[in-house]
Amino acid sequence: MTDFPAIFNFDDSNSDTGGKSAAFYRLPSPNGDTFFHKPSGRYSDGLVVLDFLAEKLGLPFLSVYLNSMGTNFRHGANFANGWSTIQPLDARIFEGGFSPIYLDIQLLQFEQFKARTEELYIEGASSYIRNFQAVETLSQHGARAFWIHNMGPIGWLPYTIVYNPPKPGNMDKNGCIMSHNEVAQEFNRQLKDRVVSQLRLRLTDAVFTYVDIYSVKFTLISEAKKHGFTDRLGYCCGHYGEDYRLQCGKKGIVNGSEVFGAKCSNPSNYISWDGIHYSHAANQWVANKIIEGSFSNPPISITQAYHL
């Protein structure tokens, strides 16, 4: 148990706990089946990393801002929305299936949430610039402890490997697409050096914990069997081929026949749940590494961050 009173989360499908389901359509089973035994709005068979972090801090799972049913914002709110982006959507991005609830919209939702909360109490640019703006906006509203997670190894995603098979010389020992991972690593270097370091200089009354999610996840991928994951590059739910995409929990036509995107019988053996997102078991492993702080800068546990 710590002294953190609340968590406010801004992100995409990696930590969406029901935002896209509330705004657009409910994610179908078998999403959520391992932990909730029903769809939960999460792109996983169970919990996402954010859920495990909230549990560690002694807080309930975050209520989704857009969810009108059974919400409790006493301990924070989740503004994440599946397939959202940092940059505003244009027609091309929207047609690609991305959510119109991008980062700036999530910030506007937070500002409206805070304003309405205060009313109730009284009555009873570029990606880097946008990162700055988002954090400074939250700081102006009283936020003081920030966890900034970098980009994971996108060259490992099974979905990506299916549709972008690595060419000779562009595959590492884990089967990942090296050039994709190099892009993620360069982004992470600039995020740390150009964004986080400047935020620490400009907002001296706030604490910034930079979490190296890339290294956490790459360690898990590299040591998959050691940690009980027997299928490093496979995925549990749905199916992707050269000329078809059968998403988890949905029906599609494959070779002239209607097929359902069912789950495997042993989700805990897989790092990937649906070719893009992580399984409940993998999320738990990743969350434990975040909690202990060995991949964080400064290298402190999540429970110590408040006391800084």
pLDDT 10s digits, 143-192? 988 999 999 999 999 999 999 998 889 999 999 999 999 999 999 999 99
Structural domain that includes position 109: 7-307
State yes or no: pLDDT of 91 exceeds 80: no
Instruction: Report the pLDDT value the prediction gives residue 1, as an integer from 0 to 100.
Output: 47
Report if residue 179 sits inside a domain. yes
Residue among 288, 290, 267 nearest 278 (CA): 267
State yes or no: pLDDT of 127 exceeds 90: no
Q: Which of 96-110, 228-242, 265-279 has the lowest mean pLDDT?
A: 96-110
Please indicate whether residue 51 is annotated as part of the active site: no
CATH number reported for the structural domain that contains residue 168 in this entry: 3.40.50
Q: Which of 32-41, 116-125, 219-228, 254-263 has the lowest mean pLDDT?
A: 116-125
3 pLDDT band, cuts 50/70/90, is: confident
The catalytically annotated residue of 11, 12, 13, 212 is 13
Report if residue 14 sits inside a domain. yes
When pLDDT is averaged across residues 238-251 and rounded to a whole number, the result is 88
Report if residue 129 sits inside a domain. yes
The catalytically annotated residue of 45, 274, 279, 296 is 274
Instruction: Report the pLDDT value the prediction gives residue 238, as an integer from 0 to 100.
Output: 94
210 pLDDT band, cuts 50/70/90, is: very high
| Domain total in the chain | 1
State yes or no: pLDDT of 95 exceeds 80: no
Report if residue 1 sits inside a domain. no
Q: How far apart are CA 155 and CA 162, in angstroms?
A: 11
Alpha-carbon 138 to chain mean position: 19
Report if residue 2 sits inside a domain. no
Report if residue 153 sits inside a domain. yes
Q: How far apart are CA 283 and CA 271, in angstroms?
A: 8
State yes or no: pLDDT of 133 exceeds 50: yes
Report if residue 295 sits inside a domain. yes
The catalytically annotated residue of 12, 277, 279, 296 is 277
State yes or no: pLDDT of 2 exceeds 60: no
Q: How far apart are CA 30 and CA 291, in angstroms?
A: 28
pTM of the predicted structure, to 2 decimals: 0.88
- Report the percentage of the chain scoring pLDDT > 70: 92
Q: Which of 86-95, 217-226, 294-303 has the lowest mean pLDDT?
A: 86-95
When pLDDT is averaged across residues 255-271 and rounded to a whole number, the result is 92
Please indicate whether residue 274 is annotated as part of the active site: yes
Instruction: Report the pLDDT value the prediction gives residue 124, as an integer from 0 to 100.
Output: 41
